[in-house]
Every structure is written in C-alpha cells, then in structure tokens.
Amino acid sequence: MAAWTVVILLVSLFVLVGSAFSAANLNEEIDLTWGGDRGRIWDGGRSLSLTLDKDSGSGFQSKRAFLFGRIDMEIKLVSGNSAGTVTAYYLSSEGPFHAHDEIDFEFLGNLSGEPYTLHTNVYVQGQGSREQQFRLWFDPTKDFHMYSIVWNPHGIIFLVDNHPIRVYENKERIGVPFPKTQPMKLYSSLWNADQWATRGGLVKADWSKAPFTAHYRNFNAKSSCFSTGSGQCDRKSTVAGGEYGDWKTRRLDAGGRRWLRSLLAGAGANFHRDVDITWGHDHANISDDGRLLTLTLDRLSGAGFQSKKAYLFGKFDVEMKLPPGNSAGIVTTFYLTTAEKHEEIDLEFLGNLTDDPYTLHTNVYTHEVGHREQEFSLWFDPRTEFHKYTILWNPLTIIVFVDDVPVRVFNNREAVGVPYPNTEPMRIKASIWNGEKWATRGGLVKTDWNAAPFTASYRNLRIHTMADSVGRRRQRWPMTQGLDKSGKKLLRWVRRTHMLYNYCHDPRRHPRECRHFVDV
C-alpha cells in the first residue's frame, strides 16, 4: 500500500546544512590510537588511512569531544573481497561502558561484487539494540563519499552524501532515553568481525586478500561545545566550521523528507541477518545475498524459520510463491506467535491437486485459545508468481492483507470481554510441512510423495514497527490504522465472493464473541 511509506514529520528539529566550510587538518584534530603504523596521516594532514591485516586492525579518535554538533567525514571503504571486515565511524562518550552513549555508522564488508551493508545504532546509558541497516545506492569502494552525523537536543540524523537515511528523535517525553548530557569524541576503526559481519558470520575474512585499507579525508566538525577532556565546554575552541550554526534548531526540509520516505520504502529485511532457520536446516536455503529464502518439504522433513527479534505490534509483509503442481496435503505458513501463552496470528496456505486452488486458512489465538478460523479462496494462482501477504497488528485491530487487499479483520473487543493479543511480543515464523491428515478436503486427499520435493519461496520481508513510525500523521501509523472507506469496501467484496468458512457462522465456535462481529 503506497500510503504505508514512512513519512517523517519533525517539529523544530534538524537542518541539512552543506559542508561548504574548509576541512580540518587531521594532524591537529585526530590521534591515531591503536594499530601502530597501520594508521597513517599524510598529504600534509589532508588524508588518513587505516589498515587491517591478520595481526591487527587500527583506529583513531578526535582530540576533542563534542556536546551536540554536526560531524562530516569523507570515506572510501575497503575494496575487493572485504568479507568479515568492519569499518566503524561513530561518536562515543568516555567513561564506563555500562553508562556510555554512542551514535554508530558501521560498514559491514562483503564478497567481491556484493554490496556493503551500512549498520547504524544508537546507545544511551549503555543500552543499544536500536539497529537499522541499509543498502547503499552506490559502490562505496570506488570513490569517497561523505558520512555525517547531526546531533542536537531534539534528535539525531544520519546522512550519506548529505541525504538523510535515519532519524532518531528525542522522545524523552514518552520515556524513551536520549543522549544529551555526555560529550562524545569521534572514533573510527577497521577491524576483523568475521564472527558476525558477513551473512551472520558464515563468510569469513580471506586473509590472502589482506591488507585491507580504508581511506579518510575532509573531516569537519561544527559544535557549540568543544571539550578537551575536562567535560566542560571550551567555547573559545575552534575547529573547521566550529562556529555556532543553524544545525541546532532547523528541521529536515521537504526534499530531505521525500528522500527518507523513498529510502525507507525500499528497505527490506535480510534473511541472513534477520532470521534463524529453526528446523530442517538442510531443507532451507538463503540466496541472492540474503534477499531470497526457500523452504523445501520431502518425505524426510520440512523446514522453518523465525525472526531473530520479537515485536509488540507492527506491520509485517512478505512476498511468497507457493509450491506448484500437486501440492495436496502440504501446508505452507507465515505467522506471528509468542514464546509463551500461545498467542498467534496465522496465515496457512493449504495445498491442493494440480488444477484445484489453494485455500488461505487464517486463525487468531488469544490466551492459548484459537478456533477463530476464517478461510478464503484466492483470486489468483499463488504458485506462478510472488504475491504479498501482510499482517497488521496494533492495539486496536488485526488486519490480514493479500496484495494490499484486506481479507480479514479481528478488532480489539476487550471492552465486551473478548480477549485480544496485546501484551506479549511475537516472532515472525514460517514453515512448510506435511498436513495431509486435514489440509486437503479434510484429509481425504493425501500427499503424493512422487511429486516431491515441494518448495515455497519467500522474499521482500519487511518489518514496520513503532520505531519506524516517528512523526507519522497519527491516523496513518501502523500503531493506530484501521480500514478506510475503500478498504472496507474491498473487505466486503472478499467476504462476499471469496470467503469459504467463517467461525462466527459456526455455532460450535464462539457465539458470545461473535455477537459483536461487525461485517464492515
């Protein structure tokens, strides 16, 4: 749905000032801190390089700390096979780790010809786990590109070539911590992280390609508070561009908001990074640099995966192509589920004979009780092409979409005693398995193992949570959205022409809660 593109609306926040001021002399502003002669400042203080080999990496830090400001640096990353390497560029406070603040860019290397991943994070008082990752729209090894951090009392903006890619807004008013009391220095390092950096650690650093080198130039800093280590502002300190500037109060302009919307609309999960194969490991395959996942069922086993993280509310999209041919007895799933109390939101695709359609089976479990089945025929063949399936779950409602068409609504009716899942985070799960005892014509048609293996394909997994909705007009947030007038019209069409079964029309199910069922 086009309306789901994330809109960032910032009140009195950030400015995208250019970097027209002259660059600092790196000899005057930077200390090489580790790695010996693997770190080098040259060209009269205009250029810096960091090198990693099998024995050590290297790093540097700024001589001064900043309390708010804009930091710019042009970087050219390690070229060729950089798998397993991480080039880090970040602001961090000094002092004990458990209380430190940090604003991170980390560039995760990859195999030759495969793109870098830009990993961002924000730590406040020692707590991180606020990662967002991005695919760059250029090759960062071919030339220098500018990476900037704008940090003021209202928020943090991450920029690449002066384009915003991430906003972390100050939301202390609702209890979200924000870094605003500790001055931070600029740090950068090049180091070996092959335990996790590339495809979750599956691809290791190739030391035959060492040494690995990253290049830096055109460092600029603007701040109203420079500190030389005392923790106090030295307002007489100057560095290139060090005058008090507009970056402190102005906002992301319309062009910046449009760029950020387009970037976030295109950002998807990476299966290497964001999911774990949970069973049938030799029947699951991740390819296309983490963009495609397949699950296969044969007589020996099926397979499944789950998201690494659990989420309390959100919008979860995936594109799927179901097993072709005679899929009778096969169940392919995409669903959300809790670790405890068995609350669950289900999409199950029930296979069929070659020329007969799949059935989409949906269910909602609350407090370990399900039996809320609704089943639908689809208006297309889900075996020939990929189609998008979406679960929207917020405090007000659950909506299931197929290609952005709503097919099911389960509203929060706790006010009349109907339980609703709204306290336990859920993980995304998916699987393919043998359900021949019930899946096709009530179990009358069994799985034809001569047609095995059966393979389902998943791509374009997208996860939209509260953190992705900062500043959004409230009526369009994933956290509050219901169906608009056109959505209700589409839902009525689906129920009229494609609904096969509704538990509310079955007296064996939930007559009490179904009294409140509204056919919108």
Report the run of H or E that residue 271 belongs to, with start and end: helix 271-274
* CA 314-316-317 angle, 5° bins: 155
* Contact between 58 and 50 (Cβ < 8 Å): yes
Cα dihedral value 19, 20, 21, 25, nearest 10: 60
374: which strand partners? 362, 502
Q: What's the rounded Cα separation, in Å, for the pair 88 and 93? A: 15
Report the run of H or E that residue 491 belongs to, with start and end: helix 485-497
Q: What's the rounded Cα separation, in Å, for the pair 439 and 446? A: 9
Q: What's the rounded Cα separation, in Å, for the pair 158 and 137? A: 15
Q: Catalytic pick from 29, 102, 348, 513?
A: 102
Residue 102 bears catalytic tag: yes
* Contact between 22 and 240 (Cβ < 8 Å): yes
The owner of tokens 């008090």 is 244
The owner of tokens 């799985």 is 447
Which residue, among 503, 496, 475, has the nearest Cα to 346 in the 3D structure? 503
Report the run of H or E that residue 374 belongs to, with start and end: strand 374-377
150: which strand partners? 70, 157
Report the run of H or E that residue 257 belongs to, with start and end: helix 254-265
Contacts of 380 (CB under 8 A, 6+ apart): 387, 403
Q: What's the rounded Cα separation, in Å, for the pair 155 and 170? A: 5
Tokens for 158, please give them: 């991450």
| Other C-beta atoms lying within 10 Å of the C-beta of residue 61 | 18
Q: Catalytic pick from 106, 375, 436, 513?
A: 106
Contacts of 437 (CB under 8 A, 6+ apart): 443
Among all residues, which ones are annotated catalytic? 102, 106
